[in-house]
Amino acid sequence: MSEKLQKVLARAGLGSRREMEAVIAEGRVSVNGEIVTLGSRVEETDKIRLDGNPVNVIKAEDAVCRILAYHKPEGELCTRKDPEGRKTVFDRLPPLKSGRWIAIGRLDINTSGLLLFTTDGELANRLMHPSHEVEREYSCRIFGEVTPKIIQNLRMGVELEDGPAKFQKIKGVAAGTGGEGLNQWYNVLLSEGRNREVRRLWESQGIQVSRLIRIRYGSLVLDRRLPRGGWSELALEEINYLRTLVSLPLETTARSLERKETRIRQGRIRRSLKNNDARQKPTRSGRLGKEIEETNEPRGKGRTKPTGSGIPIHKGRKGPTKLRSPKAKKRTRI
């Protein structure tokens, strides 16, 4: 049975269908040694090449949709390669035997929080399309005085360079007031992912955003136990939740995940990041060593849970208690 060429390329993890259509139109794809045009269909036995490199064709029934939840730190770019050699969000992701990870949307270099990756190009394309209106919730620390008039403007809508925009919801983090002083925390809700939209909305009212964290995508909430720079793979239930949002058929199988294995992996990621920071940051004495990382996120009573139904990325129990080393000396009571 033949399939559209762009669909086969997207399933191989080379990009979304729209991206593959552009690649085909540029004459970069050949089938059985001949350059093809947009609209071509291929069979399972056809040999496909992209830029002269063979494409590993994956059958529709064999394709397993995988999705990663990544805790993006500030300072990383949402691009595969940076000419200036800066860190990218793809640097720490696990390698794939075939295909590639596709980012579902973007976060700018100064924004941290939840970022999703998938091997399914069609899923990524649909989730990013504004017609599906997938909710995105952000926690933002703003600098400046926020008046009721500003809140009303942002809820009713303002005109930006690329068209009108508004927050669907705005909620102050501390007792509904957003905190005290000029530095205040607000949770805001959007149903689209335009470039720097949260920052530009606040800036339209003369307010500066000094910290921005994405805390929710749809009903998937950022797991606070996941360290910055760490990733966690979603289970079948969570994968099918995202596929339902964009009217894609449900998956019947997913990569087998064990909670124990997930906890061990998170521990390794956390230790690896801590050791890397210790090598990079000098201590007060000038030597390289460990340094406690400070965070400006709201704490205690000032922190509120994200709104929405919330499908947690992890529900796991607390890790196993540490066993005392057999070499440990016993204390003698006097």
Residue 320: inside a domain, yes or no?
A: no
Are residue 144 and residue 26 in the same domain, yes or no? no
- Give the CATH number of the domain where residue 248 resides: 3.30.2350.10
Are residue 30 and residue 140 in the same domain, yes or no? no
Q: Could you write out the DSSP letters of every residue in 296-334?
A: -S--GGG--PPSS--EES--PPPPPPPPPPTTPPPPPP-
Residue with tokens 């579902």: 104
Q: Is 108 a catalytic residue?
A: yes
Task: Tell me the C-alpha distance between 159 and 164, whole Å.
Answer: 4
Are residue 264 and residue 230 in the same domain, yes or no? yes
Are residue 34 and residue 103 in the same domain, yes or no? no
Among the options 51, 82, 91, 108, which is catalytic?
Answer: 108
Instruction: Pick the range with the lowest mean pLDDT from 53-57, 103-107, 179-183, 210-214.
Output: 179-183
Residue 298: inside a domain, yes or no?
A: no
- The yes-or-no verdict on residue 311 having pLDDT over 60 is no
The pTM is what?
0.70
- The yes-or-no verdict on residue 65 having pLDDT over 50 is yes
Are residue 148 and residue 247 in the same domain, yes or no? yes
- Is the dihedral angle over the CA atoms 125, 126, 130, 136 positive or is it negative? negative
Domain of 263, in residue numbers = 67-274
Are residue 34 and residue 112 in the same domain, yes or no? no
- The yes-or-no verdict on residue 76 having pLDDT over 90 is yes
For 210, the token pair is 């000094």
